[in-house]
Structure 1
Amino acid sequence: MNVIPDSPWAAAGLDAISGRVLEHLVASPSADATTVAEAAGISPREAGEALRRLERALLVVRLDARPVRWAASPPRSSLGAVLARRRAQLATAEGILERLQEEYEAKSGPRAAHLMEVLEHEEEVSARYTQLLKQSAGEVLHLAKPPYLTGTEMSSGELGVEPGVVLRSVYETDGFTDAVSLETALHGTARGGELRLASGLPVKLVVFDRTAALLPVRSDRPEAGSLVVHSPALVEGLAALFESVWAGATPVSLESRDDWPVPGGANGPGGGAGVRGLAGPDVPRVDERTREVLRLMATGLKDDSIARVLKVSRRTVQKHVTDAGNALGAKTRFQIALRAADRGWLGPEHRAGG
């Protein structure tokens, strides 16, 4: 029997079709397969298969009639027996879980295994982070600071966080200038997350539902491994640390893309020398030089350094930045970098005129 996990009948071990058939029979004295099929919106073949499954589970009975008719067994006794068997199976599974946990602790250290995990490899960190994120049902708290580990610095939005999960992130101000940080923040806030900036973050940290926390073994070397903390007292302390940092951090408002001015459009200034008009808010067009300037700016380089790299004057760099700001409707370098990242202007795959 193929049980659909999100079916309301899954807990009873029934698939969705069998559940609909049973609901119909409970409301009818009896019915033949053709009537059941019409009522459930399924084919006669599917109805026949569902009725036989329900008969094997003792949830319906076959009446001696021509054509064959079916009737539901009393739900409290028949379905109650099914649920009792399921509870017994779950109890058995829980017993197996405890045995496996004892074996796990015997190998990894009985006093510490349930309080903390040590993840030594980048692949382990990424996989465990993904698992904890997807298991979160209430909130995820995030302190983000460089250096970043490429491949594991993934946004919650990209990993399919459950709807309704509250996302709150504080980014290190000095490190919030690279394209990875910008893209990660954009993905998170686009799904209702809140973002703040602060300088001198004490540690990189993610707290999941205040029941588990992930942090690096060494703050200066993320590749050295990470710790997953389960100790309630330690997790509570780390969550309190986040709240303290959050309270002193500066809120950042990422306005809706739909509200951003479009260069050359009715709600925005015309394109400058470095930026050409956009075909629409999701189809940016920018020349190669402006894209290079913005990309270097997003890595944290100052105007003088950008000018030396590109072999242009500082004034030329400033003009490209100003033109980009006008085109994006952004007043600060932070806003320019943030909106340019979201428009795709910082990506290496972007080309002038496309």
Structure 2
Amino acid sequence: MDVSSSDALWAGTGLGSLARQALEYLVSHPGADEDAVAAGTGVSAAAAGTALRSLEAELLAVRIGGQPTRWSAGPPRSSLGALLARKRQELARAELYAEQLDEVYRMAPGRQIASDLFEVVESDEQVGARYAHLLRSSRQEVLHFARPPYVTRRITPADTSTAAGGMVRPGVRLRSVYDSDGIADDGCLQTALGGTPAEGELRLLPGIPMKLVIFDRVAAIMPLRKDDPAAGSLVVHSSTLLEVLTALFESVWERAVPLSLESSPASHTASPERQEGALHSRTRDILRLMAVGMKDDAIARALRLSRRTVQTHISDLGRQLGARTRFQIALLAQERGLLGDAEG
């Protein structure tokens, strides 16, 4: 029997891994003693004895006498059925207790819960704690809009990707879209670049409609007031609204410009072909960032280039395209397909 799949099947019984292995051994080896169980499961005789006694306590195995003591598993259908019935009863009592706790939670002073679909969180500490809990609970994907005004005195949704990048679980996909109109200064850009984990994806777009974080598409958090992120947040559990918010994110994501987290100048020792390819890629990155309204200094910081290098690329492009202004460069580059398609 496959150990990993067996562990998953037994997770709800409350039995430890060693007890489960001992039971599986006894099912096919009736009348085995502790030494035989130990050898069959690859553990010490003392550990096997502990596992067998735990099975006895759960009425899954019995002693059948003799010297040394031998053990026999009970009929799995009836003995395990009784164990599972007890576990279901325990879960039912736990669910009832959870309902009672939820009533106390809702009645606590200062807490505003209009329904199971929405929750209002007002204080700085509560917003930060709620956000951190939802982030750490995520198992699949976190979707993130960031736009000004920013709050720096505490962890808030969509204010800093540093919080998200440091707290998101390994293996959870983090996709962030930053408002390019609010990322022109060094601090905001470094927050975005430094806070996005290596496996994260970062894009830019002007005019992001709102601050928003969506967790596994089962919960979302956003500020109550667009112009004042310190005024509290709304936690959303409504599946209908979550579908709408997710669709909004995907629409913005498709239009946003990817910001590479690993951009670097071409090596002087690279082949001419590789250097030319790197230059073309860098030029395309500069064009994309220009298209969302970023200035030369911000583009240089985003791509880890010097300001002079960015300006040289822009000047060269202007001459090649016959354009006199940045707007004309971006427009002609788009018409000629030089911007390329954003990666999904």
Identify the TM-score tier after normalising by the shorter chain.
0.5 to 0.7
Distance 2:245 2:306 in 1: 43
Q: Which residue does 1:201 correspond to in 2?
A: 208
Once the two structures are superposed, residues 54-92 of structure 1 have per-residue CA deviations (whole angstroms, 9 ceiling, x without a partner) of 111111111111111112111111112111111111111
> What residue in structure 2 maps to residue 118 of structure 1?
120
Aligned counterparts of 1:115 and 1:204: Cα–Cα separation in 2 = 19
More helix by share: 2
Q: 1:211 and 2:218 equivalent?
A: yes
What secondary structure sits across from 2:225 in the alignment?
A: coil
TM-score, scaled relative to structure 2: 0.67
CA change 1:266–1:65 in 2 (3 A) is farther
Say whether the 8 Å CA contact 1:189–1:195 is kept in structure 2.
no
Counterpart CA distance in 1 for 2:191 and 2:114 is: 37
Which residue in the other structure is 2:93 paired with? 92
Describe the superposition over 1:141-186 as per-residue Cα deviations: whole angstroms up to 9, x where unpaired: 21111333334134444214263x4432211113334445545445
Alignment of 1:229-268 (within 5 A): 229-255=236-262, 260=264, 266-267=269-270
Deviates more, 1:77-86 or 1:118-127: 118-127
How many percent of aligned residue pairs carry the same amino acid? 47
* CA distance 1:185–1:21, change in 2 (3 Å): farther
Aligned residues: 271
* Residue among 215, 220, 223 paired with 2:230: 223
Matched residues in 2 for 1:24 and 1:262: separation?
Answer: 61
Q: Which amino acid aligns with 1:222?
A: P
Residue type at the aligned position of 1:127: A
| Aligned counterparts of 2:179 and 2:28: Cα–Cα separation in 1 | 61
Contact 2:121 2:232 in 1 (8 A): yes
Q: Which residue of 1 aligns with 2:13?
A: 12
Task: State the Cα distance separating 1:95 from its structure 2 match.
Answer: 1.5
Change (3 A) 1:105 1:320: closer
Contact 2:224 2:234 in 1 (8 A): yes
Structure 1: distance between partners of 2:112 and 2:195: 39
Backbone CA RMSD of aligned residues: 3.4
How many angstroms apart in 2 are the aligned matches of 1:183 and 1:267?
32
1:100-156 CA-partner distances (Å, limit 9, x unpaired): 333434457897142222222222222211221233334322111133333413444
Amino acid across the alignment from 1:43: S
Contact 1:204 1:215 in 2 (8 A): yes
AA aligned opposite 1:122: D
Pick from 127, 140, 143 the counterpart of residue 129 of structure 2. Answer: 127
- What secondary structure sits across from 1:65 in the alignment? coil
Q: Distance in 1 between matches of 2:306 and 2:193?
A: 25
1:85 alignment partner, SS class? helix
Aligned 8 A contact 2:149 2:228 in 1: yes
Give the Cα separation in 2 of the matches to 1:91 and 1:19.
Answer: 24
Q: Which runs of 5+ in 2 are unaligned?
A: 1-5, 272-293, 298-304, 315-344
Q: Aligned equivalents of 2:43 and 2:14: distance in 1? A: 20
Q: Structure 1: give runs of 5+ residues left out of the alignment.
A: 1-5, 269-299, 304-318, 326-330, 333-354
How far apart are the structure 2 equivalents of 1:142 and 1:231? 18
Cα separation, 2, equivalents of 1:80 and 1:53: 17
1:48 correspondence with 2:55: no
Aligned counterpart for 1:190 among listed residues 192, 198, 203: 198
User: Aligned pair in 2 of structure 1 residues 84, 30: CA closer, same or farther (>3 Å)?
Assistant: same
CA gap of 1:24–1:188, structure 2 versus 1, over 3 A, is: farther
Change (3 A) 1:10 1:133: same
Please report how far the alpha carbon of residue 267 of structure 1 lies from its aligned counterpart in structure 2 after TM superposition.
4.1
Residues 149-158 or 169-178, more deviating: 149-158
CA contact (8 A) 2:111 2:121 kept: no
